[in-house]
Structure formats: C-alpha cells, structure tokens
Amino acid sequence: MPSQTFAGSLSSPKVDVVVDTGNPLLNHTVDGFLKIGTVAVAKTLVEETYHVVQRGSLSKHNLEDALKKMCKEGAYWGAVAGLYVGMEYGVERVRGTRDWKNAMVAGAVTGAIVSAVTNSKGDKVVMDAITGGAVATGVEIIKYLT
Amino acid sequence: MPSQTFAGSLSSPKVDVVVDTGNPLLNHTVDGFLKIGTVAVAKTLVEETYHVVQRGSLSKHNLEDALKKMCKEGAYWGAVAGLYVGMEYGVERVRGTRDWKNAMVAGAVTGAIVSAVTNSKGDKVVMDAITGGAVATGVEIIKYLT
C-alpha cells in the first residue's frame, strides 16, 4: 500500500539585511518590516508546500499562486510589525522609560491604525485598539515567563 | 452643547500570585494562565466600560453580562498562554537550548491543540499549527527588536 509521508527539514534562516535610513525610528520600522515579513513569507511557503504534498501534484499555476500569496502575506505582516516596532520605539522615546505600558500603548495604536485602514468603522476601531493593546501587553508578559 | 469625553486612568496592576505545584512544567503553565488570564480580564473590563460610557446607562444585566465575558475571555486566553508557556519550557528542557526554534515548536503545538479542541478538522489544524509557529517565531524576533 503506498503511503504518503510529509517530512522536511528547516535550517535556521539567517536574514540580516540592515538598511540604514539615517533616522532611528524609521530604522526600527524597516527592521521590523523586513524580519517579520520574512517570517510570513516562510509561513506561506510551508503552507503551500503542505498543500502541494497533499494534492501530490504541482503545476505552474500553483507556483504563481503561492508566490502571490507570499508577497501579500509578507507585506501585510511586515507592515503591521514595522508599525508596531516603530511605535514602541517612539513611545519609549516620548515616555523615557521601558516597561509593559509602552507595549500596551504601541499595541493599541497599531491595532487602531490597522483596523482603520482595513475596516474603518468607529466602534470596531476602538475594539481593535483595545485588543491590540491587550495582545501586546500579554506578549510583553510572556517575554518574562519564557 | 453637551459633549461626552472618555477619560480614565489605569494604574499598573501588580499581580503576583505564585502557585507552587511542585512541578516546574506545571508551575510555568499555571503562571502563564494566571498572568495572561488577568490581561484578558482587564481587556474585557475596558471594552465593557467603553460600551457603558457610549450607551450612557448601566443596568444589572450589563454587569452580569460583562462578568460572564470576563470569565470566558480570561479562561480562554489563560488556557492558550498557559499551554504555550508550558510547551516552550518543555521544548527547552528536551532540546537543551534556548532559541527561536523553541518558540516555533511551542507555537505550532499550541496552535494545533487549540485548533483541534475548537474546530477539529484535519487541514485546518495543520494550517493553525503553521500559523501558531509563525506567530510565535515573529513574536520571538520582535523581542529582540524592541
């Protein structure tokens, strides 16, 4: 009986593109965009590979589709992460301290902006801002737990 | 013209409940559950307060509803976080090193378990595992950027 196994190895990607724009806030944003964009591209690549293995066939159309998805997801995750990292850096500069409240403010602002750009409805934006702030605060706390 | 403003102050909550179960893996899990559960409860509290301010009225029914939501969201976020933190600790013990791959594995396993518990469909579980791994990797990278 032919059986299908899904095995793969993933070597640590070493991505270290550093773009110096001369502005520290912009540098943080670009850094976040590139690094998290890479993670999203890798994620989409794994997803598409899984689909191909499951179907057992690969066509030119699938490849084009996968490439398009990689660009789209990479740009989206990268933009959100860049916004967040830049925002946290900005809040830290303004407040002059580093604590979980920076993460909360940056998360809330990022949530509000992303929500406003994609949905643009009054109440939904406020809810997404609250969720963004809570998620960022949670992640900040998990940092110290792990 | 009467105007309505939404102002509030949030003092840093100091939650430091430490439950020692005698087992380090379980301790991590309980810690994650309590701390992230608290964040989710606070988030729901802020959301409900915003709704009350917007409506301008508060009834017993609203309060009961808010309390129910706080319990539900707190338990859900807490369970996911506890699972993740415990999993990362376990992976670290097994692998013997600390790097972003622990986060990826822990995120993938957590994503798969949460997905299996809530949806339980073959393909969706794999996709959620991939997304969980990618999100955890992204967060791990953001740690070093901020």
My answer on whether B78 and B27 are in the same domain is yes
| Residues A105, A73 within the same domain | no
Phi/psi of residue B50, nearest 5 degrees: -60, -45
Q: What is the pLDDT along chain A (146 residues), one digit of tens a residue?
A: 444 455 544 455 555 556 777 788 888 888 888 888 989 999 998 988 888 888 887 788 888 888 999 999 999 999 999 999 999 999 999 998 888 899 999 999 999 999 988 866 778 888 899 999 999 998 888 877 77
pLDDT for B81 equals 92
- Of B106, B42, B51, B28, the C-alpha closest to B74 is B42
B6: in domain: no
Domain that holds residue A114: 99-146
Considering only alpha carbons, which residue of chain B is nearest residue A36?
B138
> Which pLDDT belongs to residue B16?
59
Q: What's the complex ipTM? A: 0.72
The stretch B33-54 carries a mean pLDDT of 88
Query: Min CA distance, A68 vs chain B (Å)?
Result: 18
> Contact A146/B88, CB-based, under 8 Å?
yes
Q: Measure CB to CB from residue B43 to each of A103, A134, A143 and give the nearest one.
A: A134
- What pLDDT does residue B31 have? 86
Give Cα A114 distance to the centre of its chain. 12
More confident residue, B140 or A5: B140
* One domain, residues A145 and A116: yes
A85: in domain: no
- Residue after which a domain boundary falls, among B40, B58, B83: B83
Residue A11 covered by a domain: no
Could A142 and B47 be called an inter-chain contact, meaning their C-beta atoms sit closer than 8 Å?
no
* Co-location of A69 and A111 in the same domain: no
User: What pLDDT is recorded for position B117?
Assistant: 87
Is pLDDT of B4 > 80? no
Q: Between these two residues, A8 and B84, which has the higher pLDDT value?
A: B84
Q: What is the pLDDT of residue A2?
A: 46
Report how many domains make up chain B.
Answer: 2
At A1 the three-state DSSP class reads coil
Instruction: Answer whether A85 sits within 8 Å of B142, measured CB to CB.
Output: yes
Q: Do residues A23 and A66 share a domain?
A: yes
pLDDT band at B140 (very low <50, low <70, confident <90, very high): confident
Q: Identify the pLDDT of residue B85.
A: 92
Cα distance between residue B81 and residue B96, in whole Å = 22
Contact list in B for residue A50 (CB cut-off 8 A) is 126, 130
User: Whole-prediction pTM value?
Assistant: 0.75
Is B14 inside any structural domain?
no
Residues of A in contact with B30 (CB under 8 A): none
> Quick one: B31 and B58 in the same domain?
yes
A30 and A67 both lie in a single domain: yes
Question: Domain for residue B59, yes or no?
Answer: yes
Residue A128, domain member (yes or no): yes
B49: in domain:
yes
**Distance, in angstroms, between A23 CA and closest chain B CA?**
16
**Whether residues A116 and A71 fall in one domain:** no
B46 vs A contacts (CB less than 8 Å): 130
CA-to-CA distance for B17 and B85, rounded, in angstroms? 17
